[in-house]
Structure formats: C-alpha cells, structure tokens
Amino acid sequence: MRQAYRERGYFMAETSDPTTHDAMEGGLNWFTLRPSTGSASTSHAVDEGDRYKLAESNFPGSIRVSGI
C-alpha cells in the first residue's frame, strides 16, 4: 500500500497495522437455507503527508546527449 502512494508522489506516506472487522458471523442463510461463511472487512489508517513532484533530475558529471 505504501508503494502505491509513493508512486503517486506521497513519499512520506505511512500506514497503520490493518484492522479487521467481522461484518457478519457465519450461520444459516435464511434465503437459501444453506450455511453461510460470514464476511469481514479490513481497514488501514493512512497518513499521506505532503505530495511531491519531480521537476528535473541532474546527475553531476553526466553528459547530455541529444538527437536520440
């Protein structure tokens, strides 16, 4: 998840540990009269920080080649 934010310019993005919430416990599904496995969701708190944009990169000692 951090990598996805960093690819979009949020280099200081931090995520918390995942939290799982049981939305429904297993049991008998009243519509199909079959066993149900239930469901769960996972959430993360994200602190994005500032967004950065790379305008130019310059490497000392490199030679600019044109016409390629």
Whether 68 shows a pLDDT value over 70: the answer reads no
Would you state the pLDDT for residue 38? 67
Residue 49 backbone zone (phi > 0: left; psi -120 to 50: alpha; other: beta): left
- CA angle 15/24/20 to nearest 5° reads 15
**What confidence tier does 66 reach under pLDDT thresholds 50, 70, 90?**
low
Residue 17 backbone zone (phi > 0: left; psi -120 to 50: alpha; other: beta): beta
| pLDDT more than 70, % of the chain | 76
Q: At 30, list the tokens.
A: 């009243």
Q: How many CB atoms lie within 10 A of CB 13?
A: 19
Mean pLDDT, the chain, as a whole number?
A: 77
In tens, the pLDDT along 34-52 reads 777 667 788 888 888 888 8
